[in-house]
């Protein structure tokens, strides 16, 4: 199950990267600069600046002007209909899929160097009450409370978790 989900997410990443590389603004940037990595904040900022989004990517932080291509900035650019809007929306999606693949699926693969699967084949998250000021439970190693449950990717991630026979996973 884990390998299938990992394969699907990695396939989605590759397909989306290919679609991004075929966008006219990206092809032009790659011709001018040799290459383009959609997950590089510096290259993305340079590209967006080169097509007229310098005002959109410039933010003020502690009284200093800085360039930002965070999801808020990309959402703003993506909401428009100008050059770069398709790129901005695709990069937001690419970042989400890449995060899900690397953060939530990758460590569940026993062959991964960052595997969180124990010798018994199970994941043993640690639930703690002492880490919160409100008395609620927190979860770590892995934080299974934090994966995106309402998205299609999140639903696929959820299928990678199964309780041993005679036990149940409950959601409160």
Contacts 24+ apart (CB under 8 A), 90-94: 90/16, 90/19, 90/20, 90/23, 90/38, 91/20, 91/38, 91/39, 91/44, 93/16, 94/13, 94/16, 94/17, 94/20, 94/38, 94/39
Mean pLDDT (whole number) for 50-54: 91
Q: Where do the DSSP E strands lie in 1-158?
A: 58-61, 64-67, 126-128, 138-140
pTM as predicted: 0.80
Would you state the pLDDT for residue 106? 79
Alpha-carbon span 151 to 95, nearest angstrom = 14
Res 80: pLDDT = 85
Who has greater pLDDT, 95 or 131?
Answer: 95
* pLDDT of 58: 86
Residue 151's pLDDT is 84
CA angle 109, 110, 111 (to 5 degrees): 90
- Please write the tens of the pLDDT for every residue from 115-153: 788 888 778 788 887 766 777 888 877 777 887 888 888
8-17, 85-94, 108-117, 159-168, range with the lowest pLDDT = 108-117
Alpha-carbon gap, residue 165 to 73, rounded angstroms: 47
């Amino acid at each position: 199950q884990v390998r299938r989900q990992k394969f699907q997410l990695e396939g989605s990443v590759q397909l989306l990267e290919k679609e991004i590389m075929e966008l006219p603004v990206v092809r032009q940037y790659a011709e001018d600069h040799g290459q383009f990595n959609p997950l590089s904040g510096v290259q993305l900022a340079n590209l967006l600046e080169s097509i007229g989004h310098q005002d959109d990517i410039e933010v003020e932080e502690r009284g200093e002007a800085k360039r930002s291509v965070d999801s808020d900035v990309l959402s703003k650019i993506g909401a428009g209909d100008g050059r770069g809007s398709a790129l901005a929306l695709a990069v937001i999606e690419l970042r989400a899929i890449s995060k899900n693949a690397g953060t939530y699926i990758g460590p569940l693969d026993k062959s991964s160097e960052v595997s969180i699967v124990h010798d018994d084949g199970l994941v043993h998250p640690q639930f703690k009450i002492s880490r919160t000021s409100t008395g609620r439970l927190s979860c770590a190693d892995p934080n299974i409370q934090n994966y995106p449950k309402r998205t299609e990717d999140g639903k696929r991630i959820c299928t990678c978790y199964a309780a041993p026979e005679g036990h149940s996973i409950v959601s409160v």
